[in-house]
Amino acid sequence: MKKTWVYSPKPAQLDRFTKDVLKEKVQKFIDSSKRLSQKVNRIEVRAGRIYIYCLVEPFIPKGQKVRWIKPLIEGKYLEFPLGRITLYDKRGDRCTSDWQRHTGQWISLHRGSLNECLKFIQDDKVWFYDGT
């Protein structure tokens, strides 16, 4: 098997002010979206990426005792990453919408601006499916 180099651009380095501005933009978009406002629990900006988390209520059959590695939120919810947006510039003109596999690897599904990536996450019913 022949080895080849693949060019992968690095995420943008963001200062605290830019992180706060981006977090506010994403929060406004989520608040205006009916689907995402019901699903998204928390937003986190770190290392040039915007992580979007959701709460999931796990199904536990009656009579089974389960020990969780992480404590449950409010005694019944687990927090999982719904997706992430990788930023390649500070303004949000070049971004990718990413989805996390069960192995922990991230897959880029869509390229565009910050608003286009958020709209993709909102409208996609295959990768970011929530049962509604």
Which residue ranges make up each domain of the chain? 16-123
Kindly indicate the confidence band of residue 48, based on its pLDDT and cuts at 50, 70 and 90.
very high
Please state the rounded mean pLDDT for residues 114-120: 94
Q: Are 53 and 41 in contact (CB under 8 A)?
A: yes
Kindly indicate the confidence band of residue 59, based on its pLDDT and cuts at 50, 70 and 90.
confident
Contacts of 55 (CB under 8 A, 6+ apart): 41, 73, 77, 78, 79, 80
3-9's contacts with Cβ under 8 Å and 24+ in sequence apart are: 9/88
Give the Cα separation of 99 and 83 in Å (integer): 5
The pLDDT mean for the chain works out to 87
- Residue 95: its pLDDT value, please? 94
Please name which of 68, 67, 73, 69 lies closest in space to residue 53, comparing C-alpha atoms: 73
